[in-house]
Chain A
Amino acid sequence: MRTALRELYSGTIWKKLIDAMKGKKILSSVLRKNKISNLVKTHIILFPEYDKKLNYYGTIYIDEYLLRNAASNVLVLYCDDTVANLVDDYVKAKCFKQKVETDQMANIISFYSLYIFTPSIKIISLDLPQCRNGRKLLSSGKLDFEQIVAVGIFHIIPLRRKGDYYEWTKIK
């Protein structure tokens, strides 16, 4: 324990732990504010990115994901305001939405990477948490965003494609 505390002052680990602590505090206040006490029926989806295409595909598959995992509610935390509109348009399940700042979202992800507090969480990002490598697989040219999000992140197998991002941008 003593050696661990000594090594903490190496800087990087200390900063990461502080971030994780902050992330835990934010997450705790979000769960209390929305009165969520059951992470089996309620799943958490984090939208840390500002990529509209990624967020679009991350939203349109939420209902299918909840159906396949026997969950009825979803807590959506987002940084980009577009996600709030997307959720209103496409998510039929009972949804708790909350906007968080970019650094707050990073802290929540730091906490998750320290301690996987629930399996009922999905992070709509190709690169976060660290070592995810989702963007690397895109370089093969064989897969598209929709597959990586629906199959890779949400584990929706078999996949029946739902939406067309370019059609959605025209409607918008």
Chain B
Amino acid sequence: MDKNKVNLFSVLYLPSFFCFFVYALVRNKGRRVLNRVRKGFNEETKVYICPYSGTGDVYLAIALLQKELETNSDNVVVVKGGSNKKIVNLFGINNVVVVNEKQMDRLTRFVGFLGENETNSFLLHPSAPQIGWGINDMLRNYDGINFMDMYRYGVFGGNTYDKILIPQFAQHSKLVEDLIKKNKIRKGKTVLLAPHSYTLGGLPKWVWEKLAIKLNDKGYVVLTNCADKKEEPIKGTKGIFIPYKDLKCFLECSGFLVAMRSGFCEVVSSIKCRKIILYAPNIYWGEGTCTDYFSMKQMGLCEDAKELEYKGIEFENYIDEIMENF
């Protein structure tokens, strides 16, 4: 049956009591999620919700949250997925509740219905996708609005400190020391590849394999960052997993990172190492490309990253351009 006709029928012909059924069967589930989140906290606790599970989105939202938290010391952050909880913990916030996708959708829609003031909550996204009436996301890249601006102004209305908060990475890590010994990592002569990117484009596998061969020939140890079993290491390299909190120890020792632009780049943006960030061309976000919107330099995330965008299918030239940094 045509959904439009069903919806119009419900507006025109069903009695107004229909609203109670919609609430009881649908929106009420969001209220239950909110009650579960608030369990163990007092009524004044403000609930900060990250409705979108992108790593970069969660990172930016929490990095800009400092000024807001100073006026709301009683707070709890709600995220989707365990890895996002680790991102929040990096900033010293331990009151974190993890929900699954369905729960996050229901919670966000409930807050959209009742309101942020009424629920004492704050949605940490410029246009939460679950809500359906947001307008900010359409304005990406218009007059230079980039990812950082979208969060700084579109979420916080400019009520943030100029400098974003830097995460608290571990200063020493036994896990990293063991990894260094096990993989014969050479200080300043090891390259971590991060080829996996889920939102923006990637590169063909052979490009990474050829790059790994060239780096090996030049005497570098090459490893691939693999967050889970689904992410396979690049052929000719070894796959390793480094927890977020240990990334500083690892990258400051290894020296080099070559990464496809993804949320992982936000996490490592403050770490001092040679960062080569790769962008796929011709992916348009509003009025500009993804490079315009996500450039880490333009966002003010880091000044030392080398940002490269390839042209068409000129991958051989691209590999040469990357190799110029080694």
Residues of A whose CB lies within 8 Å of any CB of B are 1, 4-5, 7-8, 12-13, 16-17, 20-22, 24-25, 27-28, 31-32, 37-40, 111-120, 123, 126, 129-137, 139-140, 142-143, 147-148, 151-153, 155, 157-158
Inside 8 A of A22's CB, which chain B residues have their CB?
16
B-to-A contact residues, CB < 8 Å: 4, 7-8, 10-12, 16-20, 22-24, 27-28, 31, 111-116, 118, 123, 126-128, 131-136, 138-139, 142-145, 149-150, 152-158, 286-287
Please tell me if the beta carbons of B8 and A132 are within 8 angstroms of each other in the complex. Answer: no
In the assembled complex, 18 residue pairs joining A and B whose CB atoms fall closer than 8 Å, in A order, are A7-B28, A20-B19, A21-B20, A24-B16, A24-B19, A28-B11, A32-B12, A130-B112, A131-B112, A131-B134, A132-B135, A136-B153, A137-B126, A137-B153, A140-B158, A143-B139, A153-B135, A155-B138
| Residues on the A chain within 8 Å of B133, using CB | 112-113, 116, 123, 129, 132
Q: Is the CB of A39 within 8 A of B138?
A: no
Inter-chain contacts of A136 with B (CB < 8 A): 136, 153-158
Most A Cβ at <10 Å: residue of B10, B23, B134 = B23
Can you name the residue of chain B whose Cβ is closest to the Cβ of A121? Answer: B133
Known: A16-B114, A21-B16, A152-B135. A140 touches B149 (CB 8 A): yes
Taken together as a complex, chains A and B put the C-alpha atoms of A87 and B18 apart, in Å, by: 33
Nearest A-chain residue to B133, judged by Cβ: A129
Q: Which 6 A-B pairs have the closest CB atoms?
A: A152-B135, A136-B157, A140-B153, A21-B16, A130-B115, A139-B158
Judge whether B19 and A139 touch: CB under 8 Å: no
- Tell me whether B143 and A142 are in contact (CB under 8 A): yes
Interface of A is mostly: helix
Expressed in whole angstroms, the minimum distance between the Cβ of B110 and any Cβ of chain A is: 10
Q: How far is the CB of A75 from chain B (nearest CB, A)?
A: 12
CB distance from B17 to the nearest CB of A (A): 7
| A51 CB, nearest partner CB in chain B, Å | 15
Given A24-B11, A133-B155; A5-B24 close (CB under 8 Å): yes
B139 touches A1 (CB 8 A): no
Q: Is the CB of A13 within 8 A of B23?
A: yes
With A7-B31, A31-B12, A136-B156 in contact, is A117–B7 under 8 Å at CB? yes
Q: With A17-B20, A28-B12, A142-B144 as given contacts, are A133 and B31 in contact (CB-CB < 8 Å)?
A: no
B113 contacts A4, CB within 8 Å?
no
Output the least CB separation between B6 and chain A (Å).
Answer: 10
Q: Which of A38, A136, A157 has the most CB of B within 10 A?
A: A136
A143 x B158 contact (CB < 8 A): no
